[in-house]
Amino acid sequence: MLGSYLQKVAAQQGYFSQMPRYYGAQIRGGGSAVKLGLDAERLSLPKDNPDILVCFNWEKYFEFELELPLGADTVVLQESDSSRENILLGEYFRVDFSKISQEVTGSSRNKNMVALGLLMGILAISNDGGGKADYQGLRMSKHHLLALEAGLDLFGQLSFPDLRLSPAEDRADKVVLHGNAVIARAAISAGCRAFFGYPITPASEIMEEMQQGLSQRGGVFLQAEDEISSAALALGASLTGVQPMSSTSGPGFDLMTESMVLASAAEIPMVIVDVQRCGPSTGIPSKTEQSDLNHAIYGGHGDASRVVIAPYDIEGCYRLVMESFDIAQYFQTPVILLSDQWLGQTLVATEYEFLTKDYPIRERKRPTGRDLGDYHRYQLTDDFISPMADVGSEGLAYRTTGLTHDESGEPAFDFKTHQWLHEKTWQKLRPLRKRDDLAVVFGKEGSNKGIIAWGSSAQVVLETVKDLGLQDEVKVCVPELIHPLPERIERFLKSTERLLVVEMNYTGQLHRYLRSQSELPEQTYTYTRPGGRPFSMKELAEPIAEITR
């Protein structure tokens, strides 16, 4: 709560920020931590080591030490009744957070608001630079405000180092939201009017946002009995002509596989969002990882074609959901959008404009009047995409099936039809290889040193390259469309002599996939490890510096 309030207050003053959230398996209470990185100029990542650490409980701190490592200069504000004697490197202050809260509100529960007031004082985040912030819209209770004021007063009484923030360059309000909320908003904007889900960490917020969004718009929302059902419900809805979506995380994605494969075989548009977490199996549900790529690309039996897309930042969470719906509708295919816990749950304060952009969503190709009376659902066309009638359309009743089928949708069990069906479902996706706009390249195209990274890890790679001042030395490619692989990525790979692949999984799933798609330079290096903690810039500095040597 402390982090959220501080982020919101700062956002009102125009500061950009990102705030990843760290929590464990507790149902209620327990340890949790956030890391808030404020920036006056641009959307950046929080630094590895915080400038200020507020700690109410050291025992809990050590559960998250890897996420919040203390630096030599970290100023620590710790609860004064903390049992642990100081073991810290930097400056520290004992503050009576609980005691002050007790005094002014009659309960120690508002200690985080005391800390908020103090931090606002230290950072000089306020409307007038004089210590009073605008609390409008923050919905603070009376007790909250009392505690906050007491915290602000405290700032005047103690002598803290000068950590005042420079004013935000653009003071306009920043919007605060996380990737999961953005994905839901984008789906609604894309015209999704049917959502089916099942609760799972760290994807549940998408379902909750969709429930709210669709209830206001008269759409269809159903919390299914399992993920087998949420995907199958989406199939049924899609056949009637609506644009359906379902969201989940790894274990649920496993269960959706049979419907995904049927959607591929029977060419039914659907969008599945997988907010990846640590696997295999239950793994660490609350922590990020990028280990579902294999499943997204290859999961399921048979040669089932599909499209795999992965955003790497909050803007992409919006734009690529639009792309996913467009591609699913136009190509009549399942699209898997791979997000991750970091993207999904990190609260971001940024300019809102990206949420208002219009992206054209192409309609499904539907039968025309000429097809009446002689309609073939899987009629072969030049682009391998056949007109798809909405179930319920007059004069176009057709039967479809997961059985190998011919142009009319009738079951077939001969080699020729089977071969034809594979050609059809795979060839139709080929134009996607021309989508060079879905492969972002940073740095000098001419450089022969390249890094490739995907998903939220790409943010750390880009930030580290910047931090090391290597923007002119090395180029970075971030594939957003991963399968089919855009030709631009293949060109990127072929243009490098030294290549580094960075991803957060044990086996190097993207690296292996790229090897299967293109030649890689002889000097190809990987930096891969499983999740459990986010990449730090310090961690990536070495492998990145290495390839530029």
Partner 1 sequence: MTKAAVYRTRLRPIWCPGCGNFALLDALTRRVLPALGIPSHKAFIVSGIGCSSRIPGYVDTYGFNSIHGRAVIIAQGAKLAKPELTVLAIGGDGDFFSIGAGHLPHAVRRNIDITCIMINNFVYALTKGQISPTAPHLERGEGQFLSWESYPPVDPMLDMVSYSASTGASFIGQGIATDVPHLSWLIEQGIKHKGFSFIAVLTPCINFTPPYLFNALREKASYLREGEVIKLQEAAPEDSWIHDPSDIRLALKLAQVPLLENPLLGVFFRGEEKG
Q: According to CB under 8 A, which residues from 224 to 243 bind partner 1?
A: 224-226, 228-229, 232-242
* Minimum CB distance to partner 1, residue 433 (Å): 30
114 contacts 80 by C-beta, under 8 angstroms: no
Lookup result for tokens 């999984």: 505
Amino acid code (one letter) for 181: A
358: contact with partner 1 by CB under 8 A: no
> In the stretch 107-146, what mask flags binding to partner 1 with x, by CB under 8 A?
----------------------------------------
Nearer Cβ to partner 1 (244/283): 244
Q: Which of 220, 355, 468, 520 binds partner 1 (CB under 8 A)?
A: 220
Q: Is 258 exposed, middle or buried (0-12, 13-18, 19+ CB in 10 A)?
A: middle
Helix (H) or strand (E) holding 102: helix 97-105
Q: Please, which of residues 388-417 interact with partner 1 by CB under 8 A?
A: 390-403, 410-411
CB of 377 to partner 1, least distance (A): 10
Q: How far apart are CA 478 and CA 469, in angstroms?
A: 19
> Residue 447, Cα to own-chain centre: how many angstroms?
29
Residues 179-208 touching partner 1, rule: CB under 8 A, are 194, 196
Question: Is 441:488 a contact under the CB 8 Å cutoff?
Answer: yes
Output 401 or 523, the one with its CB closest to partner 1: 401
Q: Which of residues 264-293 bind partner 1 (CB under 8 A)?
A: 266
Q: What gap in Å lies between CA 121 and CA 199, rounded to an integer? A: 40
**Closer by beta carbon to partner 1, 257 or else 345:** 257
* DSSP type of residue 481: E
* Closest distance of CB 112 from partner 1, Å: 41
d(CA 110, CA 144): 6
Pick the closer one to partner 1 by CB: 168 or 256.
256
CA separation for the pair 335, 264 (Å, rounded):
9
**Beta carbon of residue 386, minimum distance to partner 1 (angstroms, whole number):** 16
Taking the chain, what is the end-to-end CA distance rounded to the nearest angstrom?
A: 44
Bridge partner residues of 350 (DSSP): 175
- For residue 225, the minimal CB distance to partner 1 (Å) is 4
Nearer to partner 1, 256 or 452 (CB): 256
Q: Nearer Cβ to partner 1, position 181 or 389?
A: 389
List all residues 6 or more positions away from 384 whose beta carbon is below 8 Å from its beta carbon: 423, 424, 425, 427, 428
Site residue total, partner 1 (CB under 8 A) = 41
Nearer to partner 1, 225 or 363 (CB): 225
Peptide bond into 202 cis (omega under 30): yes
The interface mask with partner 1, positions 28-47, x = CB under 8 A, is --------------------
Nearest distance from residue 368's CB to partner 1, in Å? 16
Instruction: State which residue, 89 or 397, has the beta carbon closest to partner 1.
Output: 397
Q: Which is nearer to partner 1, 241 or 521 (CB)?
A: 241
Rounded Cα–Cα distance for residues 19 and 9 (Å): 14
Is residue 325 within 8 A of residue 190, CB to CB? The reply is yes
- Number of Cβ within 10 Å of residue 1's Cβ equals 12
Applying CB under 8 A, the residues found at the interface with partner 1 are 194, 196, 220, 222, 224-226, 228-229, 232-242, 244, 258-259, 262, 266, 390-403, 410-411
